[in-house]
Amino acid sequence: MHNVWLIARREYMERVRTKGFILATVLIPLFMAALVGGSAFFMTRTKTSSHIAIVTSDSTLGHDLQHQLETGKDNQMTVDLLQPSEATRAGLEAQLHTHAAQLAGYLWITPPAASGERPNFAYHARSAGDISTEDAIEHGVNAVMTHEGLLGSGLTDAQIKQITAPVEIDTSSSGNSTLAFGIAYLFFFLMYMVIMLYGMNTARSIIEEKTSRVFEVLLATITPDQLLAGKILGVGAVGVTQVGVWMIAAAALAASPMAMHLAGASGAHGILSAAQIGFFILYFIFGFLLYSSMAAALGAMTNSEQELQQLNMFLVIPLAFCMVMLFPTVRAPDSTLARVVSLIPFCSPLLMNFRTALTSVPAWEIILSVVLMSLTIAVVIWFSSRIYRVGILMYGKKPSLPEILRWLKYS
C-alpha cells in the first residue's frame, strides 16, 4: 500500500504543479461565470427595444397596441402613433431608407372592409432579418385583438386577466423529474468530460513511462498492479481536485444574486437533499475509478498516443449505452430492466445514482452495485497489470487479442 501511495502522490504533485492544471482550474470557472453573466446580460437585452411606427385610423386599437408594445411583459419598444395618409407613408419609407434614422419598421393597419371582420396588418421592416421585432409585434397584436374581442363579448378586464393568466402545474410532491433529469445530464456530461480528460491522462501517463523507460526502475521494487493502482489514484485525485474546485465555483455562482434572478421562483424547490449529494459523490468517485482503470488497461496495451486514440471508443461505448438506458429508467425506475442495468458496473455510476434521485432504491442494491464496481476495478487492474508486464518486457508492439489472452497465462 505504501508503494501505491508513493506513486499516487508523485503523480498528483507533479500534475497539480503544472501550469496547465492551474490555468484550467482557474480559467474554466471564469469562463463559466462569463457564460452565465453574459447570457443573463443578453437575456435582459433581448427584450425587444426597437423603434417602430403604427399607422392606423382606429385610435383605440392604436393606443392599446402602443401600450402593449411599450410596456408589455417582454417589450420595451418605442412606438409612434400616426394617422394614415400618403404623406405619412412617404415619410416613413424615407426614414427606413436613411441610415441615420432609428426606425426599425412601421405597421400599417387597414381597417376591415365590413364590421366584424379583422383589420389587415402589414409590417414594413428595415431589415427582413429582424425576427424578434416581428415576433413582438405579432404577439402584441394577438394579445390586443384577443383582449378587444373578449371585451366586445361583454367580459370585464378582471375576468379577461383571469382567463388569460398562464397555468402552472405543481410537481413538488412527486419529486421534480425535470430536476432529476437535469442532474442526470449534468452528471453524464461531467463524467464524460472527466473520463475523457483524466481517464485518458491515466492512460497517457502509463504510455509516457513506457516511452521514457522509467517503468523498469519502478518495477525493480514494485509490482505492476501497484504501479497501475497508484497511477489511477494519483491522476484520479487530480481530477477530483479540479472538479471539486469547479463545483465550489459553480455553487458560489449559483448562490450569487444574478443566478438567483435567472433561476427565478422555480429554483426554490431545486435544492438537493444531503443524501443525493452523498450518492452523487459516491457514484462519481466509483465511476471515475472504474473508467480510469479501463483507461489504464488501454494504456497498458498500447505504446503510443495514436494507438490509444483508436481504442478510446471502449470508454465511450459503455457511457453511450448508459445514455440510451436513461430513458427506460426514467420512465420506470423500479422495473426489472432498470434494476438489472443499473447493477452493471459500467452503468451503476450513472444509472444507480439516477434511480436514487427518482425512487427509493433498496439498500442492498446500492451495496451490491458498490461491491460489483469494486470487484470490476480489481479485476481490470489485475488484467491490465499482466498485459502491462508481459507486453512491456517482451515486445515493443501492440498486442493482438489472441496474444493478450495468451499473456494472461504467463507469470
Which residue of 43, 394, 405, 408 would you call a contact of other proteins, by CB under 8 A?
394
CA distance 332 to 330: 6
Classify 120 as helix, strand or coil: strand
CA distance 12 to 148: 70
- Helix axis angle, 224-255 to 363-394, nearest 10°: 130
Residue 218 sits in the site that holds other proteins (CB under 8 A): yes
Binding window for other proteins (CB under 8 A); candidates: 3-11, 29-37, 125-133, 282-290: 3-11
Residue 222 sits in the site that holds other proteins (CB under 8 A): yes
Least separation in angstroms between residue 243's CB and other proteins is 24
Residue 174 sits in the site that holds other proteins (CB under 8 A): no
- Strands of the sheet with 120-125, listed across from one edge: 78-82, 51-55, 103-110, 120-125
Q: Please identify, using beta-carbon distances, which residue of 227 and 373 lies nearer to other proteins.
A: 227
Classify 121 as helix, strand or coil: strand
178-217 binders of other proteins (CB under 8 A):
209, 212-217
In 36-184, the DSSP E strands lie at: 51-55, 78-82, 103-110, 120-125
- Please give the grid coordinates belonging to residue 91: 415619410
Nearest to 136 by CA among 78, 88, 215, 85: 78
Least separation in angstroms between residue 11's CB and other proteins is 10
Classify 105 as helix, strand or coil: strand
Residue 405 sits in the site that holds other proteins (CB under 8 A): no
Count of residues that bind other proteins according to CB under 8 A:
23
Residue 225 sits in the site that holds other proteins (CB under 8 A): no
Residue 10 sits in the site that holds other proteins (CB under 8 A): yes
Which residue of 190, 197, 219, 258 would you call a contact of other proteins, by CB under 8 A?
219
Residue 389 sits in the site that holds other proteins (CB under 8 A): yes
What are phi and psi for residue 222, nearest 5 degrees? -120, 165
Q: Please identify, using beta-carbon distances, which residue of 232 and 330 lies nearer to other proteins.
A: 232
Residue 135 sits in the site that holds other proteins (CB under 8 A): no
Residue 221 sits in the site that holds other proteins (CB under 8 A): yes
- Footprint on this chain of other proteins (rule: CB under 8 A): 3, 6, 10, 14, 209, 212-223, 389, 393-394, 396, 406, 411
